[in-house]
Amino acid sequence: MYRTLIAGWLVVMGMMVPMVASAAPFAAFVMDGRTGKEIYSQNADARLHPASLTKMMTLYMAFTAIERGQVRLDSRFTVTQHAASQPPSRLGLRPGQQIELRYLIRAAAVKSANDAATVIAEGLAGSESQFGAQMTGMARALGMRSSNFRNANGLTQDGHYSSARDLSILGRRLFYDFPQYYSIFSRRSADAGVAMVASTNKRFLDSYPGADGIKTGYTRAAGFNLTASAQRGSKRIIATVMGGQSTAQRNAVMAQLLDAGFGRAPAQVREIRPAAPAYLVEKKRSVKVARVEPAPQVVVSARPVRGSTVVVEPARRAAPAKVLSQAPDVEAVAVARAVADSVDPSRPSRRPKVAAAAAVTPAETDAAAADPLPDRKVASPEGNRPSRAPRRAEAVQTASTEGKAAKAKAPRPMGSTFAAETPAKGSRLASSDKPARKSEAVIIAAMEEEGDRSEPEATEIVSRPSTKGRGKFAINIGRFKTKAEAEQLLLRIALQESAVLDSAARRVGNTKRGWEANFTGLTRDAAHLACDKLAARSQKCSVLGN
């Protein structure tokens, strides 16, 4: 067991250190933000502790609820004892206090406040556990296959995990699905109602040109995490780093990954916008809707009666109709229309045309929305509420004109802390392996970071990257005065020559003459090929093991 843990640690972090100095497992993923295509990955599908990167999903759910008219930015949520008791980082909310959703979003996105994220969860779903089930359902709909959520803030909990690939997918969805709110992630500070809060990501935003988000995360179990997005010219790169040793080290690795991503991404490429997620969270239950062709037709009785049913049938299909029953007539029509929209393959625009066309340049984004969550004193309440997506199911007939108008103006009640009715649990999903906590000796640095400051529990390392190469050969690319220099060169070469070195492990050895930078686990042919390619770049390289 001891040898297995040591081997996993060496592969993950690429350095030779004793077990007592081990940190969280390392993972990285880089994608072309315009297409969603992978550029680089390391341990990208390992299920690891996401820490406060969880709040990206919390905010995605909040933005979705606003867009669907379930709540508004000025909706007031009540703070429970459970939410107020969350550990730092927090906004300092008190039990019984009421606060507008706009301030909760700012606190969760900018300061990464755990209490604010929990209030959002309880306000939208009635309880944090129910909200976690809804988050997981939405994650599946977004294509996040290695994620399971149990809370809204990312504090360490059994069964709560995600991956570098999944979190990059989520970061891209925030950029494309909610451009009207995306600029909140580039704010250095924000008014959270009860206090001005500073960004946990300020260092990286200020140090990396073109960076405009997205979210930091830290707990002792997770290490220092970051999902970042940056733009240069026509290129946009989105990347995630998990398991960093400190804020500075994590930011340096992220800068290297983004630089490599910009270097390898094509200048001209056909943009591929993500399709709308086929997942609908309704008032009393979660409904996961499959896409069908052609678009469904909604049939409503000409004389609806309270308690009557609304039947949704796909065209030219003899299967039994799906019944959304036991709803009042006006609400049943609204539910049917929402279901019809969510299964329509031609996705309606979620945002104004100007914002949709401006998804390329951060300058235009900043100009269009300096504050995506304006206070009510700045704009009218009607202006604070984003317009809903245009409806395509024209066959829907409303029970009464007055009822339809009232439904459009009033937000649909969501949870017990916001309204009387509490949604039921989200759709049950297949369980998967949970990440185990592990022994902790992670560098405690950059204490401005958010997260769990409690004493760590002695458990095993969560995950280790797969080692595809099992060769006995290695290559040495030089000796350096500092470990950081060796690590940075190994990372840069791994990105540049990923086709040859994808199966290799990075190792830094501490010798009397300096820090040796090696790639290990290669076959003879792979080692010689790698050295030949590096020699063509005038990079020193020697094959070891022959």
Strands 98-100 and 76-78: antiparallel
Q: How far apart are CA 392 and CA 354, in angstroms?
A: 21
Q: How far apart are CA 298 and CA 332, in angstroms?
A: 11
Out of 22, 41, 52, 147, the active site residue is 52
Out of 41, 55, 286, 463, the active site residue is 55
HEC sequence for 37-67: CEEEEECCCCCECCHHHHHHHHHHHHHHHHH
Structural contact between residues 78 and 418, judged by C-beta atoms closer than 8 angstroms: yes
52 is catalytic: yes
Structural contact between residues 205 and 212, judged by C-beta atoms closer than 8 angstroms: yes
Q: Name the strand (E) or helix (H) holding 328.
A: none
Q: Which residues contact 147 (CB under 8 A, 6 or more apart)?
A: 47, 50, 57, 136, 139, 161, 162, 163, 166
Helix (H) and strand (E) counts in the chain = 18, 18
Residue 283: how many CA atoms within 13 Å on its side-chain side?
Answer: 21
112 is catalytic: yes
Q: How far apart are CA 49 and CA 153, in angstroms?
A: 12
Structural contact between residues 84 and 171, judged by C-beta atoms closer than 8 angstroms: no
Q: How far apart are CA 144 and CA 166, in angstroms?
A: 5
Q: How far apart are CA 454 and CA 291, in angstroms?
A: 44
Structural contact between residues 298 and 336, judged by C-beta atoms closer than 8 angstroms: yes
Q: Name the strand (E) or helix (H) holding 181.
A: helix 179-182
Residue type, 391: R
CA-wise closest residue to 39 among 263, 249, 230: 263
Residue type, 468: K
Out of 22, 75, 89, 112, the active site residue is 112
What is the DSSP code (8-state) at residue 391?
Answer: P
CA-wise closest residue to 104 among 75, 133, 82, 126: 75
Structural contact between residues 8 and 426, judged by C-beta atoms closer than 8 angstroms: no
Annotated binding-site residue? 481: no
Beta bridge partners of 514: 511
What is the DSSP code (8-state) at residue 161?
Answer: B
Q: Which residues contact 193 (CB under 8 A, 6 or more apart)?
A: 99, 100, 102, 103, 106, 107
Q: Name the strand (E) or helix (H) holding 283.
A: none
DSSP codes joined into one string, 497-536: THHHHTTPEEEEEEETTEEEEEEEEE-HHHHHHHHHHHHH
Q: How far apart are CA 49 and CA 402, in angstroms?
A: 49
- Which residues are identified as catalytic? 52, 55, 112
Task: Show binding-site residues for substrate.
Answer: 215
